[in-house]
Chains A and B, each alone.
Chain A
Amino acid sequence: MTALERAISNPPSVRGLESRSPVDGLQRRSVGFIDVFAQSVSAVAPSAAATTIPLIVTVTAGGATMWSLAIAMLLSLLVATTVNVFAKRIAATGSLYTFVSKGLGTGAAFVTGVALLIGYGFIAMFALAGAGYYLSILLHRFWPGMPSSTGVVSALLVCMAMVCLVVLVRGIHLSTRVTLIVESASVAIILILVGVLLSQLGPTPDWAVLGLDASPEHLAVGSVLAVTAFVGFESSSTLGVEARRPFASIPRSLVWTVVGAGLLFLVTSYSQLAGFAALGEDITATRTPINDLALASGVEWMGLLLDLSVAASFLACAIASITAFSRVVFSMGREGVLPSRLGTTHGRFRTPHVAIITALAIVTPVSVLALLLTGGAWAAMQVLIVVAAAGYITAYVLVCIAAPVFLWRIGELTLWPLLRAVVAGVLLSVALVVYLVVESTGERGVGVWVFLVTMALGITIWAIRHRRRPWLSSTVGVYDETVSADVLGGPSAEHR
Chain B
Amino acid sequence: MSGAGELRARQPKAVHSALTVLEEVARCGAGVTAQEVSAGLDMPRATTYRLLNLLVQDEYLVRMPDLRGFALGRKVVELAHLVAPAPPPLAAREVIGRLRSSVRGGVHLVRYEGDRIRIADADPDFPLSDEQRIVRRLDTSAIGRLLLHELAHGGYDWSGLVQRPFRDAEPLIRDVERLGYARQVGEVTPGHGCLVVPIRDDRGGLVAGLSLSAPSERIERPAALLDLLLDGSHQLQPLLV
**Residues of chain A at the chain B interface (Cβ within 8 Å):** 1-9, 11-12, 14-18, 88-90, 102, 245, 247-248, 410-412, 414-416, 481-482, 485-488, 490, 492, 494
Contact = CB atoms under 8 A, between A and B. Distances in A.
Contacts of B19: 4
B53 A89 contact: yes
B58 A248 contact: yes
Contact of A1 (B22, B49, B76, B86): B86
Please name the 8 residue pairs, one residue from A and one from B, whose CB atoms are nearest each other, closest first. Answer: A3-B27, A248-B57, A3-B26, A488-B72, A7-B26, A14-B30, A4-B26, A482-B62
Interface string B57-76: 11100111101100111101
B241 interface: no
B58 A16 contact: no
Interface SS, A side: loop
Interface in B36-81: 45-46, 49, 53, 56-59, 62-65, 67-68, 71-74, 76-77, 79-80
A88 B57 CA distance: 7
A1 B64 contact: no
Contact of B71 (A4, A14, A247, A481): A14
Given A17-B64, A482-B63, 18 more contacts: A1-B86, A4-B23, A5-B83, A7-B26, A9-B85, A14-B71, A15-B30, A16-B64, A16-B65, A88-B53, A88-B57, A90-B67, A247-B56, A247-B59, A410-B33, A410-B68, A416-B46, A490-B74
19 contacts: A1-B1, A2-B1, A2-B26, A4-B79, A5-B1, A5-B83, A8-B77, A8-B79, A12-B29, A14-B71, A15-B30, A245-B57, A247-B57, A247-B59, A410-B67, A412-B34, A482-B65, A482-B71, A486-B59
B53 A494 contact: no
B168 interface: no
A488 B22 contact: no
A303 B176 CA distance: 68
A415 B156 CA distance: 49
Contacts of A486: 59, 62, 73-74
A494 B23 CA distance: 28
A388 to B, nearest CB: 31
Interface residues of B, number: 43
Contacts of B53: 88-89, 247
Given A245-B59, A248-B58, A412-B34, A487 B23 contact: no
